Amino acid sequence: MILLFVGDVFGKPGRRVLGRLLPRLVDQWQADYVVVNVENAAGGFGVTPQIMEEFGRLPIDCFTTGNHIWDKKEGVALLDRHESLLRPANYPEGNPGRGLHLGETPGGVPVAVINLEGQVFMKALDSPFRVADRLLAGLDPKVKVVMVDFHAEATSEKQALAFYLDGRVSAVLGTHTHVPTADERVLSGGTALITDVGMTGPYDSVIGVRPDKVLHRFLHQTPASFDVAKRDVRLAGAVVDIDEETGRARQVTRLLIEDPGP
């Protein structure tokens, strides 16, 4: 089976290129299952009911997020209403939402998606390694295809989780830094790895934000609004070819595609 994952959709430019390119990518790759990270979809911070309605018109099976899912109150309220909208599983109990989604392809192949957040340079959350152990232990043995969106800052932590889960999940695909890495590979146990698939949004920017606004903060150390940039919009993601009988990845392909325009 073919799993298509799209990284960090950033603001309106990211939503626009996703809408233009996703249907044709599904056709081009004959994708069986589509996962999209949407934590930056609303102006770079969180998601809203209107945006989720917009995404509902696209061929997306599951939505992952990260630390910015909490930035819009109306978005937080969606976590208990949309089973396919995840937040990192290693946040403490008592928070809304869930970090694991069970779905299936049109052909009936079960697919599990796990959303985790890193600890290095981020919040003091539960160990993503131990939480992954717990979630995998609770899966039905019939579920062979498992994808992990690891929303983390440190390259080392992302790679370490992939090696820790090698042979137990089909793919560990990194998000959060918005900078795509050229280290796609399949580990010896059959787990596909990309440290960060990159941002779907404007690349004439500092990780999605207008450079002048970011430079103001660095140079003056005083607040400046983080406005979404608009130029050089691209879709970033990955395509993973998975043996549905074993859950082992056969191949992983990195995507970085320019917006074709109207």
pLDDT classification of 231: cutoffs 50, 70, 90: very high
Report pLDDT digits (tens) over 167-200.
Answer: 999 999 999 999 999 999 999 999 999 999 999 9
pLDDT classification of 146: cutoffs 50, 70, 90: very high
Active site residues: 68
CATH number at residue 82: 3.60.21.10
Q: Where are the beta strands (DSSP E) in 76-207?
A: 100-104, 110-117, 145-151, 171-175, 185-186, 192-194, 201-202
Given its phi and psi angles, is residue 202 left (phi above 0), alpha (psi -120 to 50 degrees) or beta? beta
CA 198 to CA 106: how far, in whole Å? 27
CA 203 to CA 209: how far, in whole Å? 9
Contacting residues for 242 by C-beta, under 8 A, at least 6 apart: 1, 2, 3, 145, 170, 171, 192, 248, 249, 250
pLDDT classification of 234: cutoffs 50, 70, 90: very high
Q: Rounded mean pLDDT of the chain?
A: 97
| Three-class secondary structure assignment of 26-56 | HHHHCCCEEEEECCCCCCCCCCCHHHHHHHC
Report the pLDDT value the prediction gives residue 19, as an integer from 0 to 100. Answer: 97
Report the pLDDT value the prediction gives residue 73, as an integer from 0 to 100. Answer: 93
- Strands 100-104 and 110-117, by their bridges, are antiparallel
- Strands 100-104 and 62-64, by their bridges, are unpaired
Neighbours of 110 (CB within 10 A): 17
Q: What percentage of the chain reaches a pLDDT higher than 70?
A: 100
What's the domain range around 90? 2-258
Establish how many alpha carbons lie within 13 A of residue 105's alpha carbon, considering only the half-sphere containing its beta carbon: 19
- Asked whether residue 117 carries a pLDDT value surpassing 90, the answer given is yes
Please report the DSSP string for 177-229 in residue order.
S----S--EE-TTS-EEES----BEESSSBTTB-HHHHHHHHHH-S----PBP
pTM: 0.96
- Asked whether residue 262 carries a pLDDT value surpassing 80, the answer given is no
- Asked whether residue 123 carries a pLDDT value surpassing 90, the answer given is no
Query: Quick one: how far is CA 78 from the chain centroid?
Result: 17
Closest CA to 9 of 202, 155, 193: 202
Structural domains of the chain, count: 1
Report pLDDT digits (tens) over 30-89.
Answer: 999 999 999 999 999 999 999 999 999 999 999 999 999 999 999 999 999 999 999 999
SS3 169: strand
CA 168 to CA 161: how far, in whole Å? 11
